Amino acid sequence: MLHELPRTEAIPESAELTDAEISAMARAVVRLFEHWQLSDAEARDILGGIAPRTFARWKTGEVGRIDRDLASRLSLLMGIHKGLRYLFSDPERGYAWIKKPNADFGQQTPVAIMGQGSIFSLARVRHYLDAERSGW
């Protein structure tokens, strides 16, 4: 016999990310950048030009306060990572993809696009990967 499951709210109770979630994303992004073999300068550009000392603290696990823009960038980077994991069964191929020239980016590498500093550049790479996954 079938039983109806209780319905969930269409709007989550908490639209904001918690400080713990944001800190976890920051630590994950630092590890992701290591897999992508990015220099600190490349990483800081992708994160919107954060200060060298701030990024150095992140690398030691001391994240501190993160504003909305930076939290959005972290979220986009997690989406990019997720997209690569879906597209490539071998994680190393996904990590290498970001440094390979791409015809859809005018022969620029995805890391060069993301490194332009704009949050829209991160969104561009994220949307590209989402489209590749969906077949559009």
CA dist 49 and 41 (Å) reads 9
CA dist 127 and 76 (Å) reads 10
The pLDDT of residue 13 is: 64
The pLDDT of residue 111 is: 97
Prediction pTM value: 0.85
Query: pLDDT for 30-80, tens place per residue?
Result: 999 999 999 999 999 999 999 999 999 999 988 888 888 999 999 999 999
- Residue type for position 20: A
User: In terms of DSSP H, where are the helices of 1-136?
Assistant: 19-36, 40-46, 52-59, 68-87, 91-97, 110-114, 119-134
Query: pLDDT for 78-97, tens place per residue?
Result: 999 999 999 999 999 999 99
Nearest alpha carbon to residue 30 among 66, 50, 56: 56
The pLDDT of residue 4 is: 82
